[in-house]
Amino acid sequence: MSLFKRRDARTAGRDSVTRRFLVGGIGAVAAGLFPRRAGAADRGEARTVALQGDGNQPVDPRTLWEGGLERLAGRYVFHQIASPGGLWEHTDRKDGTRTQRQVSINEIPADFREKLQKAELIISDLKLPTMVQGDARKSPSGRGVLRFYAETSPGRLQVRNIPGASLDEQGSLNFDGPVTYRLEHQSHSNPSVGGVLIVRQNSERTWGAATLDFADLNATALPAKDKPDTDPATILANVRVLRSAVEAFAFVEWTVQDADPPRKYLGSVRLAKVGVLTQAPEKSA
């Protein structure tokens, strides 16, 4: 399963479709360039690979994305709602209609608000150097350059109170343990005006500042020692980071089943690195 197929795409304006519109099949090309070599980083094969495509000169991957895992490491805590205008409240009515409106953090259910305000993400114990891959090649249209970046490393992940940032539909995502991190970025050096407009129109309402130039941060749990052949569980899949490596944007989702009619809240929150954009609060419960 590709982690680019984000679960929030079904409610955030066909995000996966518009990304393909913007870069013209860039995801399929990236999949061929960067096959997921299970366990490579775990075996200590940390290295930097500069790929060459379409006759272009080899490229240093770190020039394609400056906010790598080593810079990203640290503790991030809730800073603010990232979705412009507030989170989205969806209400399914008995007559089959659905209404939606934007709400501030003060208007969402108290238990949901309490979780978000205690949201926390800690990236630590990375195995350095990480394994980095990158490529830059001419786009099929000849109008610009397609850029790909991928980085993996074992490490430790601590995450609390971010409901929606995993592939678990109902999970509130409280996890502390060893994982394999994967950071992925793909972009076009000269995207069309129409493509950028559509991406912003369909995704900006959810992701805010993390709509255009971002990298996907994913994490999978290490297989259990007694079940080494099982597929690793995806712990983190709906988080984006910026080049500055001081902010993380996490998709959130919360359903109130006992409401009449039921309500669902969707959007994203901005987590800031402690000591850079925010002061250190008390440890989350």
Cα 285 to Cα 273: distance, rounded to the nearest angstrom: 18
Tell me, what's the pLDDT at 278?
Answer: 61
What are the residue ranges in the chain where pLDDT is below 50? 1-55, 169-170, 285
Tell me, what's the pLDDT at 257?
Answer: 78
Tell me, what's the pLDDT at 97?
Answer: 85
Q: Is residue 48 part of a domain?
A: yes
Q: Is residue 168 part of a domain?
A: yes
Range of the domain at 263: 7-273
Q: Is residue 238 part of a domain?
A: yes
Q: What is the pLDDT of residues 162-177, one digit of tens each?
A: 988 875 544 556 889 9
Cα 171 to Cα 152: distance, rounded to the nearest angstrom: 25
Q: Is residue 1 part of a domain?
A: no
Q: Is residue 154 part of a domain?
A: yes
Q: Is residue 78 part of a domain?
A: yes
Tell me, what's the pLDDT at 229?
Answer: 72
Tell me, what's the pLDDT at 95?
Answer: 80
Tell me, what's the pLDDT at 274?
Answer: 93
Q: Tell the burial category of 98 from Cβ atoms under 10 Å away from its Cβ (0-12, 13-18, 19+).
A: exposed
Q: Is residue 285 part of a domain?
A: no
Query: Phi and psi (nearest 5°) for 230?
Result: -75, 150
Question: How many domains, the chain?
Answer: 1
Tell me, what's the pLDDT at 206?
Answer: 92
The CA-to-CA distance between both ends of the chain, in Å, stands at 33
Tell me, what's the pLDDT at 200?
Answer: 93
Tell me, what's the pLDDT at 25?
Answer: 39
